[in-house]
Chain A
Amino acid sequence: MNIAARENIDKAVKLLIRSTGMIVIIILAGIFFMLLYNAIAFFLKVSPIDFITGTQWNPSGRQASYGIVPLLVSTTLVTLGAMVIAIPLGIGTAAFISEYAGKRLKNILKPAIEMLAAVPSVAIGFLGIVIVGPFLARLIGQPNGLNALNGAILLSVMALPTIITVTEDALRGVPHSYKEASYGIGANKWQTLTKVTIPAAAPGILAAIMLGIGRTIGETMTVLMATGNAQAFPHGFFRSVRTITATIAIETGEVPYQTTHYFALFAIATVLFIMTLVVNLIGEYFVNRFRKYHSA
């Protein structure tokens, strides 16, 4: 092939590949406008104030009500519970892997955590029904243990791999000189970890927590299977709750196309989208701060 033909091919391919770079922008914009369009269609029929302050979500009742508060409280409740469990466990595990474990143990623990991350959420939800549910039921004397606590426990399992991996990266990113300085003035391993390494890695750890929260808020199958999905307003960890994601999963399959109820589901999806976006942006902010801090 002569050089002109080869250069033409080169130019054509360059153009083609460059155009595929735009695809991600189109997809994100597409998702955003799809949500926005349907949410606006909803707000033309139901006032945004009723939506934001309404304490009842009952779209199929005789007098349909579209209050997002119970769904938001449910999502917050299970996310909060999951984080209370996952944050200490995750940071502890990451600290163990990066500071205490030997090379051989590391080579076992890291793939184990990748394995845990690979377990599909529907399988974890199933185990919530067959293991965690009966266990909680016996513990608190309920017929089945399908409640917010069950969902929180399962979600902590789902968030752990993210929190552990990102925290471990952050701990490993702390310069050796910091630790050496700490050892040099007579601090032991634990003091160095808690007073020097963890504070120095704090932005990275915060990013890990944010990414974990982002994953937890958006998780669908585990909460759908394990929290009981009662429509009533949530009353604490031992009662059944219904999160935003579970509501979308349950009701989208049943609603007729382009009814108020259909649009309402896109409206709560928009709220979910914004929540995860904000959490991820905060996480990104901390990641960047961590990088800047340690490259300076």
Chain B
Amino acid sequence: MKKLTPFIEWGTLLFCTGTVCFYLFVILFDLISKGAPSISWEFISTQPRAGMTMGGILPAITGTVLLTIITAIVSVPFGISCAIYLNEYAVDSWLTRIIRACIRNLSGVPSIIYGLFGLALFVQGLHMGTSLVSAGFTLGLLSLPYIITTTEEALRRIPASTREAALAVGATQFESIRDVVIPAALPGILTGVVLTLSRAAGETAPIMFTGVAFYINSPAGNINQEFMSLPYHLYMLATQHQSIDVVRPLAYGTALVLIMVVFILNLTAFYIRYKHSKNDR
């Protein structure tokens, strides 16, 4: 019995880890095995037809891509700038402590509340209507705290001596940041940006009332109009369609395309990080 106890103990932890891996395996296996048969060139390159029961998901793909681009345009410049302020310019004061507390709290705000905020501010307050740009701005706000946190972490990894060397040869602080610090931190910043955007691309709740639509009949989105997106399309096909069983293969196909988009973005981030850590050595 005494000999067996270590195995039971070790086995308990292994069981926990195994269960978590099993979850990931089930998710991937189910989506790939049932989604792959639906995926064809036609599926990703044509409009939906016959009340969504046939055809492809092209407008949902273009919608998600455009939405992610707007999200990046809103969140990346402000996020990086705010991180530069916190790490390069600001000293530890009550103001920076408040800013940091705000960032932490913003990243804990539920995404559905960002949706309500986008509805009240962009859609109704600023009269932007339910549109691609309203939804993009909403997701931009949601992404901002993550971009700031990851960028600041990347900046913090650059040693002070690098900055001092730039200042010592006569660069102003801005020139040192622009020409020395940012290029050195770029791989870390990019990793954070790509991971954040992959999360934004999969978000559904914040865009539900700010601009996403179940069906539009043109593939190229006008930024002042409603749009289709992959996560929302999946939600509608899975729960709201009048003949759910008929569209189930399409729902699986959409889920697989969505998860592939997200995973490709993630793998890109992993690759940047991996390559960077190799260069460091």
The closest CB in chain A to the CB of B95 belongs to A21
Task: Kindly identify which residue among A17, A34, A124, A220 contacts B120, using a CB–CB cutoff of 8 Å.
Answer: A34
By the criterion CB–CB under 8 Å, are A120 and B113 in contact?
Answer: no
Whether A25 contacts B175 by the Cβ 8 Å rule is: no
Known contacts A89-B19, A127-B30, A218-B109; decide if A31 and B148 are in contact (CB<8 Å): no
* A269 engages B113 (CB within 8 Å): yes
Name the residue among B17, B31, B121, B201 with the largest chain A CB count within 10 angstroms: B17
Query: Does A25 lie within 8 Å of B98, measured CB to CB?
Result: yes
Residue numbers in B under 8 Å from A125 (CB-CB): 235, 238
Please give the distance in Å from A193's CB to the nearest CB on chain B: 8
Smallest beta-carbon distance B248→chain A, Å: 8
What are some 18 contacts across the A-B interface (CB < 8 A)?
A10-B172, A18-B90, A20-B81, A20-B85, A23-B144, A34-B121, A119-B259, A122-B234, A126-B234, A160-B20, A164-B20, A188-B6, A217-B110, A225-B235, A245-B205, A249-B115, A252-B209, A280-B105
User: Of all chain B residues, which has the CB nearest A99?
Assistant: B13
Please indicate the chain A residues that have their CB under 8 angstroms from the CB of B239 in the complex.
129, 224-225
Q: How far is the CB of A26 from chain B (nearest CB, A)?
A: 9
Q: Is the CB of A272 within 8 A of B110?
A: yes
| Known contacts A18-B89, A93-B20: A120-B204 contact under CB 8 Å | yes
Does the CB pair B205–A95 fall under 8 Å? no
Complex CA–CA separation, A104 to B20 (angstroms)? 18
Give the interface residue-count category, chain B.
Answer: 35 or more
A28 within 8 A of B: yes
Considering only CB atoms, which chain B residue lies closest to A105 in the complex?
Answer: B17
Extra contacts besides A93-B19, A273-B113 (14): CB < 8 Å: A17-B84, A20-B78, A20-B85, A27-B106, A27-B144, A34-B117, A92-B17, A115-B266, A116-B27, A123-B27, A125-B238, A252-B208, A252-B209, A277-B105
Given A14-B89, A122-B231, A123-B255, A116 contacting B13 (CB threshold 8 A)? no
Q: Decide: A120 near B208, CB < 8 A? Known: A14-B173, A24-B99.
A: no
Interfacial residues of chain A within 138-159, with CB under 8 A of chain B in the complex: 157
**A21, B90: Cβ atoms closer than 8 Å:** yes
Q: Which residues of A contact B30 (CB under 8 A)?
A: 127, 130-131
Asked if A214 is an interface residue, CB under 8 A from chain B, the answer is yes
List the 6 closest A-B pairs by CB distance, nearest first. Answer: A218-B110, A120-B202, A92-B16, A21-B85, A10-B172, A96-B13
Q: How far is the CA of A266 from the CA of B263 in the complex (A)?
A: 34
A93-B16 in contact given A10-B172, A34-B121, A257-B124 (Cβ < 8 Å): yes
Question: Closest CB-CB distance, A261 to chain B, in whole Å?
Answer: 14
Interface residues of B in 245-269 (CB under 8 A from A): 248, 251, 255, 258-259, 262-263, 266
Contact string, A5-32, partner B, CB cutoff 8 A, digits 1/0?
A: 0110110011011101111110110110
A13 vs B5: C-alpha distance when bound (angstroms): 64
**Are B234's CB and A123's CB within 8 A?**
yes
B12 at the interface (CB under 8 A from A): yes
Measured between alpha carbons, how far is A88 from B145 in the docked complex, in Å? 30
List of B residues within 8 angstroms of A218 by Cβ: 108-113
Partner of B78 from A10, A18, A23, A266 at Cβ < 8 Å: A23
When distances are taken between beta carbons in the complex, the residues of chain B under 8 Å from A284 are: 104
Nearest chain A residue, comparing its CB with the CB of B203: A120
B41, CB-defined interface residue at 8 Å: no
Query: Quick check: B124 and A88 within 8 Å, CB to CB?
Result: no
A97–B111 CB distance below 8 A: no
Interface membership of chain A positions 272-296, coded 1 if the CB is closer than 8 angstroms to chain B and 0 otherwise: 1100110110001000000000000
Nearest Cβ distance between residue A176 and chain B, in whole angstroms?
20
A14 & B121 in contact (Cβ 8 Å cutoff): no
Q: Which of B9, B82, B110, B203 meets A20, CB within 8 Å?
A: B82
Q: Which residues on A sit within 8 Å (CB–CB) of B99?
A: 21-22, 24-25
Write out the residue numbers on chain B whose beta carbons fall within 8 Å of the beta carbon of A90: 16
Q: Quick check: is B1 within 8 A (CB to CB) of the other chain? A: no
Query: Is B94 in the interface zone, CB < 8 Å from A?
Result: no
User: Are the C-beta atoms of B199 and A126 separated by less than 8 Å?
Assistant: no
Residue among B5, B24, B117, B174 making CB contact with A9, cutoff 8 Å: B174
Q: Is A102 an interface residue (CB 8 A)?
A: no
